Amino acid sequence: MSADSTGSATAAERASTPATPAQRGARALAGGDPVRVAIVGATGYVGAELIRLLALHPHAAIAGLIGRERQGDPLAHIHPHLATRDLRVFDTVPEDAEAVFLALPHGVAAQRVDEFLSRGQTVIDLGPDFRLRDPADYATWYHFDHPRPELLETAVYGLPELHRAELLAAGRRPGAIVGSPGCYATTTILALAPLARAGLLADVVVDAKSGVSGAGRDPKADLHFGEVNESVKAYGAFTHRHIGEIEQELRGLSPVPDANPGAAGVDFLPHLVPMTRGILSACHVRTTRPVSQAELDQLYADAYAGEAFVSVVATPPATKHVTGSNEFRVWAKADERTGRVLAIGVLDNLVKGAAGQAIQAFNVLHGLPESAGLLQLPLAP
């Protein structure tokens, strides 16, 4: 039995299951059965974070944890920090799950998606398989042919701050697919979106720094403590896969479609720094015309007014300011001397950069309060 105490649905309940995420969310909000969710890929870092947050979600219940070749392994053996939750991991997705969160290597979700859709399960994919709109981009950035290119048209890029209306619309249809954004992509897109929307991006250099958890949990030589500690290095120069998402979204925001000059050819360089969580993207921008600090302040204030998880801050943010929370913070400044604009964004790569953002999109899709299950404050020091 892989579920929390809410248990699996009876046949009668399943028969009466509403057809769309929105209907299902409405029932949960009205005091009915919480939405039954499954986590596929529950044994990794992102899986753990989904469990941590969903276990306390007021309108969702964990209906299944799924990991390859797991036959009821206690969660305590896999994620000792979550040992107080009496959960087990199996190798099959329960049929009565209503939404499945997928934390899988790239290419796998696209191959398995029919299995979930055929059961009427909503898919929130935390991998890249449904993030890009143009199938050709998969060849460019991931070196594979997408097996289900026709699904890319309707899948929603799950960044609620930019695609909330699409998520709501998708929640009114059965068979929704959400492609949850990458961690670097979220940090970078949110840091640059107000400039992109104003058509200001002329030349964009993004220099990003990430904690190690973004590279996953599998032991590797370059993630060994002795290699990472007391060291900084760049990696993936010119070829990091998140460039595809970043350029797609910045182009999409451009007032002149497909013509945002800076959106083609973003220079993106990620670094590994000796910490576990956190991403900082420093975006160095040459603008298409001079921008004053006052205009900059206004652009960012307008862009993020009313957003529960975005703060425009007055001093350069540190990654530690958001650890463990779903917050994104951004600081933008014009440099009179060089004429450039600098925008710095931070988030926790496992929360707003992965599990938290996926839950945020899940909430919007189901018509639940957007911050349900995501109210934890950051943990510092």
CB of 16 to a second copy, least distance (A): 31
| Cβ atoms 212, 222 nearer than 8 A | no
Between 81 and 173, whose beta carbon lies closer to a second copy?
81
Residue 311 CA from chain centroid, whole number: 17
Q: Is 304 helix (H, G, I), strand (E, B) or coil?
A: helix
Q: What mask, x for binding a second copy by CB under 8 A, covers residues 21 to 50?
A: ------------------------x--x--
Residue 283 CA from chain centroid, whole number: 20
CB of 224 to a second copy, least distance (A): 5
Residue type, 72: G
CB-based contacts of 239, cutoff 8 Å, min separation 6: none
In the region spanning residues 291 to 320, those forming contacts with a second copy, defined by CB under 8 A, are: 311, 313, 315-320
Answer yes or no whether residue 280 interacts with a second copy by CB under 8 A: yes
Write out the catalytic residue numbers.
183
Residue 222 — φ and ψ, nearest 5°? Answer: -85, 5
Identify which range of 22-30, 101-109, 126-134, 278-286 contacts a second copy by CB under 8 A. 278-286
| Cβ atoms 62, 73 nearer than 8 A | no
Between 121 and 326, whose beta carbon lies closer to a second copy?
326
Answer yes or no whether residue 377 interacts with a second copy by CB under 8 A: yes
In the region spanning residues 334 to 373, those forming contacts with a second copy, defined by CB under 8 A, are: 335, 337-340, 342, 344, 346
Nearest to 43 by CA among 63, 6, 73: 73
Between 169 and 273, whose beta carbon lies closer to a second copy?
273
CB of 344 to a second copy, least distance (A): 6
Residue 81 — φ and ψ, nearest 5°? Answer: -70, -20
CB of 80 to a second copy, least distance (A): 5
Among 14, 164, 172, 321, indicate the residue that binds a second copy (CB under 8 A).
Answer: 321
Nearest to 345 by CA among 235, 233, 207, 157: 207
In the region spanning residues 135 to 174, those forming contacts with a second copy, defined by CB under 8 A, are: none
In the region spanning residues 204 to 263, those forming contacts with a second copy, defined by CB under 8 A, are: 205, 207, 209, 211-213, 217, 219-221, 223-235, 237-238
By CB under 8 A, how many residues form the interface with a second copy?
82
Token pair of 369, please? 């309060």
Identify which range of 158-166, 171-179, 190-198, 264-272 contacts a second copy by CB under 8 A. 264-272
CB of 87 to a second copy, least distance (A): 12
In the region spanning residues 177 to 206, those forming contacts with a second copy, defined by CB under 8 A, are: 203, 205
Give CA–CA dist 273/288, Å, rounded. Answer: 33
Identify which range of 26-34, 100-108, 117-125, 282-290 contacts a second copy by CB under 8 A. 282-290
Residue type, 85: R
Give CA–CA dist 346/208, Å, rounded. Answer: 10
Residue type, 377: L
Longest CA span, the chain: 69
Identify which range of 7-15, 51-59, 63-71, 109-117 contacts a second copy by CB under 8 A. 51-59
The DSSP code sequence of 46-103 is: HHHHHHHHHTT-TTEEEEEEE-TT-SSEEHHHH-GGGTTS--EEESS--TT-SEEEE-
Give the CB-side neighbour count of residue 207, counting CA atoms within 13 A.
7
Between 78 and 117, whose beta carbon lies closer to a second copy?
78
Give CA–CA dist 198/195, Å, rounded. Answer: 5
CB-based contacts of 84, cutoff 8 Å, min separation 6: none
Between 79 and 197, whose beta carbon lies closer to a second copy?
79
Residue 376 CA from chain centroid, whole number: 17
CB of 217 to a second copy, least distance (A): 7
Answer yes or no whether residue 10 interacts with a second copy by CB under 8 A: no
Answer yes or no whether residue 266 interacts with a second copy by CB under 8 A: yes
